[in-house]
Structure 1
């Protein structure tokens, strides 16, 4: 019984929230050259005034990502534009089964195509599963390779490389 009570009362590690915005309370807008939400979280950690932050994904490669530092912790709202967190929250990539978040499997491409506005990494994965030549795939979020999302189908399984804004998977 003591173990259960200790687990309930133990402090929980704060985590950033993918696909959430925290609108308002901004005091600083800064570009994020790496396009990596972890760098926005680090900016907040290094600024004493910062209580929360929002990382906005780039809309196009030439735009770049933006980090908004905030003097309070506004209510979060669902929005695929962003990753948000509070001071002390690290960025943990979402894990959804066989989909590898922030991973590019560079090379081995035999086909790539632009995805429709509402299609995401699941559409890219499905395209690979339906093509017998495809062994792996990589999805690039809108703004990382072009204005729209892009899917890369691969005839070879290449080693995973960390790359924010990309999702990959191995099918066969």
Structure 2
């Protein structure tokens, strides 16, 4: 660990002044001990810098009474402790924490909201596909839904995600068009609500079956160059209860199905099927999440 010269006198000065205050004492009493600033690099008097995991960086600062704040670079694993913090600036690969609010900068992410104020929450659903709104059309290769949720949380334009466990693909989204139930799929969304009203319920309009056919009950074949086009063809037909879209052949085919007795059959060929549904779905859990208004 490397300490910068002349830091001892500054520790004494800060202690004598009772810390650097940017607001009334009454407002600070309710603040957490360390105020969190994601995607932020600090400016000020650096007292020490060293390579440690991010959690160690925060713990060491918390244990040192003279530490006014810290920042941590996820790209270099470099932790910097500050004897005084003068400013903050947005930096994607950094996270920071301070004992006092940074004057003239955005609010910390972990401030407790006023009792009746709307704040951000996160809801996660098992067996749910949120269709549309993809930021990356082909998705991102990932191994589990937790990684997908983290990718969405790091991107402030992301308001929802769907993780396809069969293909190990993560689709982060600015929003979504409609909801489908689907086995092996996990989705999540960020939403604003008052703490006492932080509830969300989705309505699944379709049951989605990946790598599956709906054998029999053929209503007819219609042209469709995408799953979305095939779905819209069925949606606009009162007799259609579901469809199978075939994409392994040279020309894509859309087979409409009639009735409600439609049951999937797994296949190794490039097919995806869906049937009309009308089912309310509640989340696995809802939890508060840091501010996403910036």
Could you tell me the TM-score, scaled by structure 2's length?
0.29
* Higher RCO (CA-CA < 8 Å; seq separation 6+): 1
Q: Judging by fraction of residues, say which structure has more strand.
A: 2
Could you tell me the TM-score, scaled by structure 1's length?
0.46
